[in-house]
Amino acid sequence: MPRRCSIISNALPRNTSARRAEAIERVLVPPGFYDRDPRRVGRELLGKVLVREETGKLVTARIVEVEAYLGTGDLAAHAAAGRTPRNQVLFGPPGRAYVYFIYGNHYCLNVSCLPDGVAGGVLFRALEPLEGIAAMARARKITLRGDRDLRLLTSGPGRLAEAFGITRTRDNGKDFTCVDSDLRIEDDGFDVAKVLVTPRIGIIKAAELPLRYLIAGNPFVSGPLRLRSAGAVGRR
DNA sequence: ATATCGATTATCT
DNA sequence: GATAATCGATATG
């Protein structure tokens, strides 16, 4: 049976993935996990844990919302126009960090999917903070006044990247599947009860495709309310 | 709660 | 020169 979820501040609101503070074993997600269709990878990434480790300090957060971006057939994907210096990570081996800069302000974090030579990826859209909350607040340059402010840390692709100190020069191409990497994705056995599927957010082309996946009812999911609750598009 | 708008820069046409 | 997988502030109901 699935284990309880990981360590979390007891200051967190109810109705989150928080359960109790106890040491939980986490295992690295292997490369083969990412060597599949981004839709499959995206859905199964929900509930996994993004880990940043530097000098023994851990910043971790649970993945609660993602979007799949396909290859050359997907007009909204950066890979749509073919291989360029910017998007080459998407065409490379699976399980690597693809980081891009957008709107002159923000970085966004993805993981590459499918085998070397085939483009595809999953965008991280929202996380639920677990460990290192003070460090995330520092990175985001915000003062936490209450539990509700936790949403401001990692709810949205630009926000989560800033909370984890993600930049293109630092992290693009980094291997998520290596124990020595300071950026990893791990599985703590958390069981996702229900997944919701909706159209992707913030895009113009191919905007109707239902390729956004989120954990139903999770308060850290981003976007307008109508795209956060049951009835959005589908369940699963 | 939803809508609109400005900021700011790498990348591509 | 236009655009973009966003955010935060402001305005309005």
List residues with CB under 7 Å of strand B.
A 81, 84-87, 100-101, 103-105, 168, 224-226
The pLDDT of residue A23 is 67
Instruction: Using the structure, give the distance in angstroms from the CA atom of A152 to the C1' atom of C9, rounded to a whole number.
Output: 15
pLDDT per residue as tens, chain A (236 positions): 333 333 333 333 334 455 444 567 999 999 999 999 999 999 999 999 999 999 999 999 999 999 999 998 999 999 999 999 999 999 999 999 999 999 999 999 999 999 999 999 999 999 999 999 999 999 999 999 999 999 999 999 999 999 999 999 999 999 999 999 999 999 999 999 999 999 999 999 999 999 999 999 999 999 999 999 876 665 44
The pLDDT of residue A17 is 52
Protein residue at shortest CA distance from C1' of B2: A224
Q: Which neighbouring-strand residues pair with A216?
A: none
| Nearest C-alpha neighbor of A154 from the set A63, A83, A93 | A63
The pLDDT of residue A20 is 47
| Nearest C-alpha neighbor of A147 from the set A5, A7, A4, A14 | A14
- Quick one: A179 exposed, middle or buried, by C-beta within 10 A (0-12, 13-18, 19+)? exposed
The pLDDT of residue A231 is 60
Question: Nearest nucleotide (C1') to the CA of residue A81?
Answer: B12
How is residue A64 written in tokens?
A: 């609660």
Instruction: Using the structure, give the distance in angstroms from the CA atom of A30 to the C1' atom of B1, rounded to a whole number.
Output: 42
Nucleotides of chain C in contact with protein CB (under 7 A) are 4-8
The pLDDT of residue A114 is 98
- Taken in order A133, A217, A191, A112, is the CA torsion positive or negative? negative
The pLDDT of residue A186 is 98
List residues with CB under 7 Å of strand C.
A 67, 69, 76-79, 90, 98, 100, 102-106, 108, 110, 121, 123, 140, 152, 156-160, 200-205, 222
How is residue A172 written in tokens?
A: 């693009």
Residue A47 CA to residue A191 CA, distance in Å, equals 7
Question: Nearest nucleotide (C1') to the CA of residue A109?
Answer: C5
The pLDDT of residue A24 is 78
Instruction: Using the structure, give the distance in angstroms from the CA atom of A160 to the C1' atom of C7, rounded to a whole number.
Output: 12
The pLDDT of residue A43 is 98
Protein residue at shortest CA distance from C1' of B10: A101
Nucleotides of chain B in contact with protein CB (under 7 A) are 1-3, 7-13
User: A17 CB contacts (<8 Å, ≥6 apart)?
Assistant: A5, A8, A47, A62, A64, A128, A190, A215, A218
Instruction: Using the structure, give the distance in angstroms from the CA atom of A169 to the C1' atom of B4, rounded to a whole number.
Output: 33
